[in-house]
Amino acid sequence: MSELTLRAEKLDGADELAGLRDRFVLDEGVYLDGNSLGALPANVPDHIGEVVRRQWGELRIRSWTEGGWWTAPERVGDRIAPLVGAAPGQVVVGDSTSVNVFKALVAAVRMARQDGAGERDEILVDATTFPSDGYIAQSAARMTGCALRPVTPAEVPGALTARTAAVLLNHVDYRTGRLHDLPSLTAAVHAVGAYAVWDLCHSAGALPVGLDEHGVRLAVGCTYKYLNGGPGSPAFLYVRRDVQDRFDSPLPGWNSHAEPFGMRPGYEPAAGALRGRVGTPDILSLLALEAALGVWDGVPVEAVRAKSLALTDFFLECVDAYVPAGRVESLTPAAHEERGSQVALRCPDAGEAMKRLIERGVVGDFRHPDVLRFGFTPLYVGFADADRAARVLAEVLA
């Protein structure tokens, strides 16, 4: 048994989060794709069975009130809020990440223009962003009459001008796992009178975000990665309390109306983060997410972050020890302050290598053209998993 394997056993034995693995449905393999789809929390199937049988099957329409369906978007939002550093009443759950990005970005431009400082006819977008965010930014720019300028996050401070209305940024780069400096970038954007919109898809549930602490006004994120909400589970929208009364959604719907059952032809937005709602929420997915969030009971996100960094450090050490020299190159920053909760390795034959890894029970994913991605979800991934994954990778690439 190698020194690294022995060390993995000791680290797992001392891990205060190790027992959380029992809260999930897992097999004997190594699941390192929680940055695409989180594992199934063990309590979800029975809960959803009860929702279907009793709330839908027996109570039927009464469940909108008696089952709490109507208030679920903000109730579940308040469950997510502490995981992203937000006080209650600022997070609403519903729709997809793309839809929420569109709401937030258009609202950001509108608020910047309401502030009355300058022409505000430009949107900056992260040039390395997930494609869908880029598509949404293009549409939002057309809708608001703005020019769209792609820049890397590092270039944002130098690219900001008095014409900048909004800036759409990713907290963690989906390809490389690079963590961007949310506090300083937010401050720079706000200093010129613009609004930052943060995409938290690869950071929510993986590390402390500190939305309230760092003065973020608008943020969105998915719930099916590190929050383990299930495939296609609804996304969340954060609207800081002090801008909620000016949040002008481009998608006003009856669910965000001040009197949703008044059925009036004129739209009057509800107070607070509720104006981020649109239409009828996806109740089954929403309640599955609510149950899934139970795995976080008693778990501080700071402890998750500490284990995440230790896991990714250890995995990189194992890769360096086991994998033949020159076969892979890490794209993930070595510095902790620049790293999310994944490791990205460049490999010339990455697609075939990942296929063979999965056949051997090590599940990560492949990003075109040459990137192997391994997501580390500390709630259910251990150090022995990291050691085994690196060993199998070495055998596949030998």
Identify which of 281, 286, 271 has the alpha carbon closest to the alpha carbon of residue 239: 271
Q: Has 242 been annotated as catalytic?
A: no
How does DSSP classify residue 167?
E
Radius of gyration for the alpha carbons in the chain, expressed in angstroms and rounded: 22
Whether this model's pTM surpasses 0.85: yes
Which pLDDT does position 267 carry in this prediction?
96
* Residue 350 β-bridge partners: none
pLDDT of residue 116: 81
Cis peptide leading into residue 378 (ω within 30°):
no
User: Which residue among the candidates 110, 240, 275, 373 is catalytic per the annotation?
Assistant: 373
What gap in Å lies between CA 291 and CA 244, rounded to an integer?
28
Whether 10 is catalytic: no
Contacts (Cβ under 8 Å, ≥6 apart) of 189? 156, 160, 164, 167, 195, 196
Catalytic residue among 102, 195, 224, 383: 224
Active-site annotation holds for 277: no
Q: Which of 24, 31, 102, 130 is catalytic?
A: 130
Inter-residue contact 216 to 196 (CB < 8 Å): yes
DSSP, residue by residue, 105-159: HHHHHHHHHHTT-S---EEEEETTS-HHHHHHHHHHHHHHT-EEEEE-GGGHHHH
- Selecting among 78, 199, 385, 387, the annotated active-site residue is 199
Query: Which of 39, 120, 89, 72 lies closest to 363 in space, CA to CA?
Result: 39
| pLDDT at residue 117 in the model | 67
Show the domains of the chain with their CATH numbers. 3-31+299-397 (3.90.1150.10), 48-296 (3.40.640.10)
Residue from 169, 162, 217 nearest 191 by CA = 162
Active site residue 130: yes
pLDDT of residue 47: 98
Q: Identify the bridge partners of residue 363 per DSSP, sorted by sequence position.
A: 31
- Note if 236 is an active site residue: no
Please state, as a whole number, how many other Cβ atoms lie within 10 Å of the Cβ of residue 58: 9
Q: pLDDT tens track of the chain, all 398 residues? A: 799 999 999 999 999 999 999 999 999 999 999 999 999 999 999 999 999 999 999 999 999 999 999 999 999 999 999 999 999 999 999 999 999 999 999 999 999 999 986 789 999 999 999 999 999 999 999 999 999 999 999 999 999 999 999 999 999 999 999 999 999 999 999 999 999 999 999 999 999 999 999 999 999 999 999 999 999 999 999 999 999 999 999 999 999 999 999 999 999 999 999 999 999 999 999 999 999 999 999 999 999 999 999 999 999 999 999 999 999 999 999 999 999 999 999 999 999 999 999 999 999 999 999 999 999 999 999 999 999 999 999 999 99
Long-range contacts of 310-313 (CB under 8 A, 24+ apart): 310/11, 310/383, 311/376, 311/378, 311/381, 311/382, 311/383, 311/386, 312/339, 312/341, 312/342, 312/343, 312/376
The sheet carrying 122-126 orders its strands as 91-93, 236-239, 218-221, 195-199, 164-170, 122-126, 147-151
Q: Is 381 helix (H, G, I), strand (E, B) or coil?
A: coil
Catalytic residue among 225, 275, 277, 307: 225
